[in-house]
Amino acid sequence: MRLVAKAGAGLLSPGARAVIPCLWRGRCFSSGNEPVEPPPVTPMLRHLTYKIKSTGPITVAEYMREALTNPAKGYYVYRDMLGEKGDFITSPEISQIFGELLGIWFISEWMATGKTAAFQLVELGPGRGTLAGDILRVFSQLGSVLKNCDISIHLVEVSQKLSEIQALTLTEEQVPLERSAGSPVYMKGVSKSGIPISWYRDLQDVPKGHSFYLAHEFFDVLPVHKFQKTPQGWREVFIDIDPQVSDKLRFVLAPCATPAEAFIQHDETRDHVEVCPDAGVIIQELSERIALTGGAALIADYGHDGTKTDTFRGFCGHKLHDVLIAPGTADLTVDVDFSYLRRMAQEKVASLGPIKQQTFLKNMGIDVRLKVLLDKSNEPSLRQQLLQGYDMLMNPKKMGERFNFFALLPHQRLHGGSHQSNSRQSKPSPTPVAGFSELVWQ
């Protein structure tokens, strides 16, 4: 497809490809630092330039999908990108308190919805397994509460490298893992406390049943389509080869409407939007499952409620990284649009949030938990680590206001048996949802 756009006084010639103005790209798409030396030509860059030469410019969504999850060269597939030696650090890697409070949240919801005889904990994109490990430790510590409940863990992970790290984190080394490359369940194991764990590549493969779903920093890496408003209407942003430098990529605008434009709201007032069809599909699947079999979904990510415009950025070595340089070597991420997730639930379930991480964790009792751990610790280095972790999680200038929590729940969880408004008067008020209000133990 040929791509043309407005430039100055009029349209470029039909054979030319127009780049989005340099100022717009520099402000929104890169760290602002031009490399002193030519960037490396990575295997992924070679793959993408060959692809573009063969079929034409590609969408930002296709670029993200290739750069992050290509089976042969994708950033997530064969590397451990987490921790101090990686490209970014997540909340579970900062403090054990984070995962412990999420474990409390799931137990609180299990209790509030009738203490079912069994439930599945399903985590999407489990990282190194640190978060699941902290949650499992809480389940063990509160074993007297959960003693009559049959619990199983289900991890949805596409990265071979990370699934191996998760297995080391969560299972006893002497317990052999069952592996079946061609099966929907490609790996099975048992946690240190005896809870069965299964690994899947797709949420669709996870058995349906009463489940609690967790997605922490999962939706922000799903591929997005980017759109710019022009005098001719919405135009999708594509990625093309720079005609001046054969090993360099650039952004261009499509000359006419593209299919993904259907995801933009008719009353959209922003001049630039990012839409994520993959996120919509996953939210619809979660909503259908929760409406059918109960449970809840807890989503934690950085994002906004339909207010931000261009948030596409890269991270490499804990620093901002130009998204078009050395693809395959850096994390690519986009702020989650929670208003879009809410729309995609299509009222099949109720939603809560987004609320700031600082508010959610305070409601969950992080201050009390920190005091308990500090009182138990006599080591100055451990006490300092706990205080630094708390500051990172709660400080508004760090993660406290940057990250948000969002939940999907059955309508009857909020409205006492029916989502019709007049039903509230005849039924007792349901227990408040922890985190979104102050935690209350029954």
- The number of beta carbons lying within 10 Å of the beta carbon of residue 190 is 17
> How far apart are the C-alpha atoms of 220 and 223, rounded to whole Å?
8
Question: In angstroms, rounded to a whole number, what is the distance separating the alpha carbons of residues 66 and 74?
Answer: 6
DSSP state of 8: T
Residue of 312, 303, 333 whose CA lies nearest to 87: 333
Work out the number of other CB atoms within 10 angstroms of the CB of residue 197.
23
Cβ-contact 341, 279 below 8 angstroms: yes
Q: Is the pTM of this model over 0.85?
A: yes
> Digits of tens for pLDDT over the chain (442 positions)?
333 332 333 323 333 333 333 322 323 344 344 555 677 899 999 999 999 999 999 999 999 999 999 988 888 876 655 545 444 466 777 889 999 999 999 999 999 999 999 999 999 999 999 999 999 999 999 999 999 999 999 999 988 888 999 999 999 765 668 888 788 999 999 999 999 999 999 999 999 999 999 999 999 999 999 999 999 999 999 999 999 998 999 999 999 999 999 999 999 999 999 999 999 999 999 999 999 999 999 999 999 999 999 999 999 887 899 999 999 999 999 999 999 999 999 899 999 999 999 999 999 999 999 999 999 988 999 999 999 999 999 999 999 999 999 999 999 999 875 444 343 444 567 889 999 999 876 5
Tokens encoding 149? 């409940």
Amino acid letter, 13: S
Strands 178-179 and 185-190, by their bridges, are: antiparallel
What are the strands, taking DSSP E only, across 101-224? Answer: 118-124, 150-156, 178-179, 185-190, 196-200, 211-216
242 to 61, 226, 237, 249: CA distances (angstroms) = 19, 19, 15, 5
Instruction: Write the burial class of residue 300 (CB in 10 Å: 0-12 exposed, 13-18 middle, 19+ buried).
Output: buried
DSSP lists the bridge partners of residue 253 as 237
Torsion angles phi and psi, residue 398, rounded to 5: -110, -110
Strand ranges inside 134-222, DSSP E:
150-156, 178-179, 185-190, 196-200, 211-216
